[in-house]
Amino acid sequence: MKITDMKVAIIGNHPVVRLTTDEGIDGIGAAELAKPYLKPMIEFYRDMIIGKDPTDVERVMLGIRRMGSFKPWGAAVSAIEFALWDVAGKVAGLPVYKLLGGKIRDKVQVYNGNVRFKLEGVDPEHYAANMQKMKDSPENFSIIKQGIAFHGNMASDVEDFYYGTPSTRLGGRHPNRGLITYKGFNHMLACIDAMLEVCGDEVGLALDCGPGFTVPDALKLAKALEGKNIMWLEDMITGDYTPYVLADLYTQVTPYTSTPIHTGEQIYLRQNFVELIERNAVNVLGPDPADVGGLAEMKFIAEYADLHGILFAPHGTVDGLIGLAAHVQLAAVLPDNYIAFELPNGQPEWWYDILTGLDKLKVKDSHIDVNDTPGLGVSFIVEEAMKYLREEDAGFFDD
């Protein structure tokens, strides 16, 4: 079997990959909702994979993996890897989890970082009301993540929250960073306590914090929350769209607190997790399969983390429905350090009208049953999906 073409289309802002083969079997993959600009980056790899056997997933990946990079650029490589596994599973007549070593769980736990309601303000009562809405969501989430401090509007909308000048340029990707004031710190703790009261002992509270914390503030917050059973403090020092790791800084925090410290969503490839893992610089890792280099890459990282006593809670907020299918296949095979993955959804809503297999991805009591559909388990309803193709992508579904 040979790859005959790699097509890329922007569907609902997701860069979607479709691999065609000389045996008429195709495979699909996708990058996150927020990355339509990646189309030319994905197309960059086209000539490097044409003519190769898509069922030799690792051989194909060896040819392109080294030319990706930290978020957002690793998403191009990851989307191709998803599509390769989709082809390989369809050829074998097996779900991808079988090709990754076989499942060790029949249902996988998810957490909420994406089913969102408008936060009406930045005071404790607003965080409590918002948390109640998420707790009442029909998915019955066991873990809910909420943004605080530099992740969200708290740092910019609470007057004198930190010693710095807040900026909202670059669509929220500007790295606001600085020492938090006494007023800001107390406000942050009050908001956390308000959410904890709503969560009770039914829902675990995870906090997405940055990046933007200084080391002293990171340790100060972690110590202040000891005994409150916070699931984790995510990306305090580094994180979203920061192209480096800085394990040394995390080692000044993690060993000195019992509050779990989490990072990893922006990191590309296993090599860039070595310091975090071998130095036990964090307690929880959260790579995103749509950024880290794909499913096999994630499995390797999870297994190596497990050997060092580090837990695993994959990121996935805007990975979309193709990403959701991939997450389920991966989570089925991860070792027992797996906690839950961040549930993606379909945006816009019409994504639910253009894919088959979504009935097997429904969330019940914060879990999704692992299905046995070959490949990733979802496929396009071509006549419906074509309604949403851009003019320049009109040939996406052609053989």
Series of mean pLDDT values for 10-residue runs along the chain (399 residues):
98 98 98 96 98 98 97 97 99 98 98 95 98 98 97 92 82 79 98 98 97 97 98 96 96 98 98 98 98 98 98 97 98 98 97 98 98 98 98 96
Token pair 């040394």 is at which residue?
A: 248
Sheet holding 14-21, edge to edge: 3-11, 14-21, 27-30
Tell me what pLDDT residue 45 has: 98
Superfamily of domain 3-95+381-393: Enolase-like, N-terminal domain (3.30.390.10)
Return the domain boundaries, the chain: 3-95+381-393, 99-375
Token pair 């920061």 is at which residue?
A: 242
Tell me what pLDDT residue 273 has: 98
CA distance 27 to 57: 12
Tell me what pLDDT residue 399 has: 87
Token pair 């995390």 is at which residue?
A: 250
Tell me what pLDDT residue 248 has: 98
> Is 99-375 in the same CATH topology as 3-95+381-393?
no
Token pair 């071509």 is at which residue?
A: 382
Are 43 and 27 in contact by the 8 Å Cβ rule? The answer is: no
Contacts by 155-164 with C-beta closer than 8 Å and gap 24+?
A: 155/184, 155/212, 157/121, 157/122, 158/122, 158/184, 158/187, 160/184, 161/187
CA distance 46 to 40: 10
Does the reported pTM lie above 0.85? yes
Tell me what pLDDT residue 166 has: 84
Tell me what pLDDT residue 305 has: 98
Fold of 99-375: TIM Barrel (3.20.20)
CA neighbor of 285 nearest in space, from 315, 255, 256:
315
Are 297 and 324 in contact by the 8 Å Cβ rule? The answer is: no
Are 31 and 42 in contact by the 8 Å Cβ rule? The answer is: yes
- Give the pair of three-digit tokens for residue 373: 């559909």
